[in-house]
Amino acid sequence: MLAELRKLLPDAPVIYAADLAGLPYGAKSEAQIAARVAGLLGRMSERYHPRLACIACNTASTIALGMVREVLEIPIVGTVPAIKPASAISKTGVIGLLGTEATIRQAYVDNLEAEFASGKRLLRHAAPGLVEAAEAKLRGEPVDMVVIQAAADALRTMPDGERIDTVVLACTHFPLLEPELRQAFGPGVQFVDGAAGIARRIAFLTQGQNFDASTHSLAVTTGSLDQFHTLAPVFAQYGIEQLEHL
């Protein structure tokens, strides 16, 4: 998502927060996630005074977006499963969705399906192992293709799963694994995520505002700073050189 944002707003100062101490979100209860997201964004708002906040997580957005918008007096952009665009491009009408346990069970996703995929078949699968695989890939470690193939097979073996031609990547970690997922699913499958749309929304909400290219971007984490520094080369690609503990 940061890559898509940089295409539209290359000079915008960004504060990237990685709640490593709170992972994995998908295995937590709704109450735990809501409290953690609200608390984290509250602390960041007080410390950094951002003009806009983006919840770059499907699980957190489907659970806590409404609550956070009521509390913070800045625009809040959420990230929700890209069911609408997936439905528009699917030719077979059978769509797969890979997400966390918490995301796939949300009424928010039920509502998206009812509104945008009526008459289509949406097959959901919780694939928490893909989060760990994506984190490993970011650190330059080998990707476990057994985990990738298991996620693909889980969707394929569902009723009508062999007809899936579009897969929604309903976790912001999963697009990092798109090459591996393409290999696992085989030819003829399209992958959809919301990154480009979210970037356009942020650009729209900040249009006409001035950005000072000399203002440094930074990345902060709630977890181990030493572990976070293993991701420094990745952040550097997007103009983020400063890493701090939150």
Catalytic (active-site) positions: 57, 171
> Which spans in the chain are helix H?
2-8, 30-48, 58-71, 83-89, 101-104, 107-116, 129-138, 145-156, 178-185, 195-205, 225-228, 232-236
Q: How far apart are CA 57 and CA 75, in angstroms?
A: 16
The pair of structure tokens assigned to 96 is 């797969």
Alpha-carbon distance values, 42 to 11, 88, 213, 241 (Å): 25, 37, 26, 24
At 23, the amino acid letter reads L
Distance (Å, whole) CA 76 – CA 203:
13
Residue 202 Cα to chain centre, angstroms: 15
Residue pair 221/17 in contact by the 8 Å Cβ criterion: yes
